A and B are shown apart, each in its own frame.
Chain A
Amino acid sequence: MPKAIEIDSFSYKYPDGTAALSEITLNIEHDQKVALIGPNGAGKSTLLLAIAGFVKGNGKVLIDGLEINRKNLKKIRTCLGCCLENPDDQLFMPTLFDDVAFGPLNMGLSAEQVKKRVADALETVGLAEMADKAPHHLSAGQKRAAAIATILSMKPKIITFDEPDGSLDPRNRNNLIKLLKDLPHTLIIATCNMNFAIALAERAVLLDKGRIIADGDAEKIMSDSQLMAEHGLEVPSKIRG
């Protein structure tokens, strides 16, 4: 069985020549929950964009055994969903129903199948009653849940999240942790909130200045106070005690 994600010596430079990602080699198995941790500007978002095929650099990126290229892109889009940092960018349709239906419709599903998928996805994130609401009428927590529903309705195997806990209050953050924990998908979560990362992931990949600094057991990496401090991060309160 192919790995969920295989990245081999991937490098990417911004148009101005600044190295964003250097020699990234990373393998992620199916059903793993991986936290991509690192300070601001470490290259986490760029790496997620590279995984989704939106950033083209040197090196190989394989999603579920498929190399990212023009020919495979459509298949990759159905097996990998990406949740952007700002839910307002993710929710672009006039109603929540239309937004959640957007992906399944592009997959070529019938109207009945689409309606079922929308209902299921909204039920999973607890927004079943909100289908006809306009996104600008939702709260920050609801927007985040709605953005996740837009991905779930496509039933991907892998989902990437870019700073999903941003601008959420503790209650909404806990709800999000519970929701993501219950998802059976392969999750790659980019965050600089170590408490959020430790609550979700069994594996952590520490990224700084476009390079992988550490990769392994989440608790082991995040409990290394010296390593965390060196890269502008903190030991999660759960470990600090």
Chain B
Amino acid sequence: MLKALRVLVCYFGTTYQMHHAYIDKYAYQDSPIHRLDSRVKFVVLLVFTAVVISLPRTSLSILACYAVGPFTILVLGRIQLRFALKQILLASPFVLILALSCPLYDKTAVTIAFGPFVWYSTVGWLRCFVILGKFTVTMLALIALISTTRFADLLTGLQWLGLPKVLVIQLGFLYRYIFVLIDRAQHILQARAGRRLRSLGFKRELKTAAAMLGSLLARSIDTAGHINIAMQARGFDGRWRSISRLQIRRADILFALIAASFMLGLYILIRPALQ
């Protein structure tokens, strides 16, 4: 359980240091992609994800072509590919389990041809690679969005696109306080590490972990109380008010047109394969 807590902390913060590897650490850079309207980027991501997910299982090579899209965004947005791959790796365990189980239950033989190369495999393995490929491409697109859009702009965009206000507020608080919570979890883990001189056995470790989680929960409730006071002190009456600073410009329209042409062009290219 302590290991689980540590993994969770490490998921958002790289080490036991005070400085986390923020998931949006590149969002505050400046580039043509960063300057695009969050609504346009979000809608493009949504359509792109839908298109990639709906690709047939036989279209591995087309999938590779679709990866060019998010890859270009990452390059133009000056996002390190290593950072993107690390994020994908962190989110991959669940998908890996799902993908690797495919070869176990579908062993139908299949011939795969790629240009002059031909090899034999099973439908299960093909499905496994397609799942992993689709996951990687859609994750690349998601990371491209998060790394080139400030979270506040994304929230404003989502609200404009019709996401319920309550959900937008919840997401805002989650984004704001997840880092505070990580800091606290790190402090608790450090305090424990400083006094843990030997292994106490599973039962005692479990008890310690429960106490640590309890302390984290109690402090979170305390923080929630203080935030409530801070909000009320500034006249909050239950109605959420905000100023939208989003603006669609010519560059946004151009970006949407290029993205649409890219997706449509590839679709036309693979249409014969779909029939």
Q: Are B242 and A98 in contact (CB under 8 A)?
A: yes
| Contact residues in B for A89 (Cβ distance below 8 Å) | 223, 226-227, 229-230
Of A11-19, A22-30, A57-65, A103-111, the one contacting chain B is A103-111
Q: Are A77 and B234 in contact (CB under 8 A)?
A: yes
Given contact pairs A88-B180, A94-B151, A106 touches B230 in the complex (Cβ within 8 A): no
Tell me the complex Cα distance, A89–B262, Å.
45
| Contact residues in B for A148 (Cβ distance below 8 Å) | none
Q: Are B234 and A154 in contact (CB under 8 A)?
A: yes
In the complex, the chain A residue whose C-beta lies closest to that of B229 is A54
A133 within 8 A of B: yes
Of B168-176, B194-202, B248-256, the one contacting chain A is B168-176
Q: Are A106 and B241 in contact (CB under 8 A)?
A: yes
Of A78-86, A205-213, A214-222, A225-233, the one contacting chain B is A78-86
Is the contact region of chain A dominated by helix, strand, or loop, or is it mixed? helix
Q: Are B243 and A101 in contact (CB under 8 A)?
A: yes
Q: Are A134 and B152 in contact (CB under 8 A)?
A: yes
- B residues 215-234 touching A (CB-CB < 8 Å): 223, 226-227, 229-234
Tell me the complex Cα distance, A132–B80, Å.
23
Q: Are A78 and B176 in contact (CB under 8 A)?
A: no
Instruction: Tell me which of A81, A136, A150 has the highest count of chain B C-beta atoms within 10 A of its own C-beta.
Output: A136
- What bracket does the count of chain B residues touching chain A fall in? 20 to 34
User: What's the minimum C-beta distance from B42 to chain A, rounded to whole angstroms?
Assistant: 16
Q: Are B226 and A49 in contact (CB under 8 A)?
A: no
Is the contact region of chain B dominated by helix, strand, or loop, or is it mixed? helix
Given contact pairs A132-B150, A134-B151, A136-B180, A92 touches B227 in the complex (Cβ within 8 A): yes
B155 within 8 A of A: yes
In the complex, the chain B residue whose C-beta lies closest to that of A82 is B233
Chain A 120-141 interface mask (CB, 8 Å, partner B; 1/0): 0000000000001111110000
Tell me the complex Cα distance, A101–B236, Å.
12
- B residues 167-217 touching A (CB-CB < 8 Å): 172-173, 175-177, 179-180
User: What's the minimum C-beta distance from A161 to chain B, rounded to whole angstroms?
Assistant: 12
User: What's the minimum C-beta distance from B146 to chain A, rounded to whole angstroms?
Assistant: 13
A90 within 8 A of B: yes
Q: Are B176 and A84 in contact (CB under 8 A)?
A: no
User: What's the minimum C-beta distance from A46 to chain B, rounded to whole angstroms?
Assistant: 12
Q: Are A90 and B235 in contact (CB under 8 A)?
A: no
A187 within 8 A of B: no
Q: Are A54 and B172 in contact (CB under 8 A)?
A: no
A178 within 8 A of B: no
Q: Are B180 and A78 in contact (CB under 8 A)?
A: no
| Contact residues in A for B226 (Cβ distance below 8 Å) | 84, 86, 89
Q: Are B223 and A95 in contact (CB under 8 A)?
A: no
B160 within 8 A of A: no
| Contact residues in A for B152 (Cβ distance below 8 Å) | 93-95, 97-98, 132, 134
- A residues 138-157 touching B (CB-CB < 8 Å): 150-151, 154
| Contact residues in A for B229 (Cβ distance below 8 Å) | 49, 52, 54, 82, 84, 89
Chain B 37-68 interface mask (CB, 8 Å, partner A; 1/0): 00000000000000000000000000000000
Q: Are B235 and A114 in contact (CB under 8 A)?
A: no
Please, could you name 22 A-B residue pairs with CB atoms under 8 Å apart, sorted by A?
A49-B229, A54-B229, A54-B233, A77-B233, A84-B229, A86-B226, A88-B223, A92-B176, A92-B177, A95-B150, A97-B152, A102-B231, A103-B234, A103-B235, A106-B235, A106-B241, A132-B152, A133-B28, A134-B150, A135-B176, A136-B179, A154-B234
- Which residues of A come within 8 Å of B, CB atoms? 49, 52, 54, 74, 77-78, 81-82, 84, 86, 88-95, 97-98, 101-103, 105-107, 111, 114-115, 132-137, 150-151, 154
